[in-house]
Amino acid sequence: MAPISTPQTPFGRVLTAMVTPFTADGALDLDGAQRLATHLVDAGNDGLIINGTTGESPTTSDVEKDQLVRAVLEAVGDRAHVVAGIGTNDTRHSIELARTAERTGAHGLLAVTPYYNKPPQEGLLRHFTAIADSTGLPVMLYDIPGRSGVPIDTETLVRLAEHPRIVANKDAKGDLGRASWAIAQSGLAWYSGDDMLNLPLLSVGAVGIVSVVGHVVTPDLRALVEAFLGGDVHKATEIHQKLLPVFTGMFRTQGVITTKAALTLQGLPAGPLRLPLVELSAHETAQLKIDLAAGGVQL
């Protein structure tokens, strides 16, 4: 059974979009995934996103995706929300992944905006509605036009929010004004999907965060959220400013690349990347160490 949630926080407050550990030869490392999931939940995560972009979902097979969800559920499913990324740019394929995740026991679904084929807003509405109609699981939308090429307009978010199973949005749009209007008009549970904007999005109504840097600073992120919600904006701001080097360093290049490098530096399961992603250079790794140290991360 998943941890207690409320309509205001259907997936908890602090979630990390987990990388997918691989073995040295590039195979799925299920033992490593379980150890990493346990570490992240022990650190304070309310939930984990599995098979998202940070999980290298474009280069894992459907079978691997299912195996990974099963493994993480076995490791932490009784004390954290396990949310399966099922978004593709093919509605039928997304529905297949959603139904498989439900059968496996996932607690929720993350559905990213269809990418590359650039559908109009009516296409987005029908796509997300079809996914939500296909299972009984709660759905978190994922609005990231920098990757998908198409934003989910505020009017579309309001219409999607009418669906009883579309309950949340992960916002990586980078537009606080549009976020403010969408939060106010849609009533969706809003999660920051951009670590640099975690605190600003909380200030306009977000209920939590879905983080990449949570791999290395979950306790700080949890303290930031709790301080803000407790009314101690000064403390929340101090934590935000302390973490600025981490936010910067972890996104000097593609986030999966730096996250796996950081985990490896800490002796945690990560493994290699699958092409077209590539390892950090020695120079980039040295810079990452500087950035992490400046934000108080122990290596």
pTM as predicted: 0.96
* Residues with catalytic function: 142, 170
As a whole number, mean pLDDT of residues 107-121 equals 97
Mapping DSSP to helix (H, G, I), strand (E, B) and coil, where does residue 260 land?
A: helix
Instruction: Report how far residue 249's alpha carbon sits from residue 215's, in angstroms, rounded to the nearest whole number.
Output: 13
Is 41's pLDDT higher than 90?
yes
Is 23's pLDDT higher than 80?
yes
What are 184-213's pLDDT values in tens digits?
999 999 999 999 999 999 999 999 999 999
Residues in contact with 11: Cβ distance below 8 Å, sequence separation at least 6, in sequence order: 5, 46, 47, 81, 83, 107, 108, 138, 140, 168, 189, 191, 208
Angle between helices 255-265 and 282-294 (to 10 degrees): 80
Instruction: Report how far residue 224's alpha carbon sits from residue 155's, in angstroms, rounded to the nearest whole number.
Output: 31
How high does pLDDT run on average in the chain? 97
* Three-state SS sequence of 9-67: CECECEEEECCCCECCCCCECHHHHHHHHHHHHHHCCCEEEECCHHHCHHHCCHHHHHH
Domains of the chain: 14-233 (3.20.20.70)
Closest to 84 in 3D by CA, of 51, 56, 58, 55: 51
Q: What's the pLDDT band for 299 if we cut at 50, 70, 90?
A: confident
As a whole number, mean pLDDT of residues 59-85 equals 98
What are 255-271's pLDDT values in tens digits?
999 999 999 999 999 99
Instruction: Report how far residue 268's alpha carbon sits from residue 33's, in angstroms, rounded to the nearest whole number.
Output: 10
Q: Residue 218 annotated as binding?
A: no
Is 148's pLDDT higher than 60?
yes
Q: What's the pLDDT band for 126 if we cut at 50, 70, 90?
A: very high
Residue 235 has a pLDDT of 98
Q: What's the pLDDT band for 3 if we cut at 50, 70, 90?
A: low
Q: Residue 210 annotated as binding?
A: yes
Mapping DSSP to helix (H, G, I), strand (E, B) and coil, where does residue 186 land?
A: helix
As a whole number, mean pLDDT of residues 141-147 equals 95
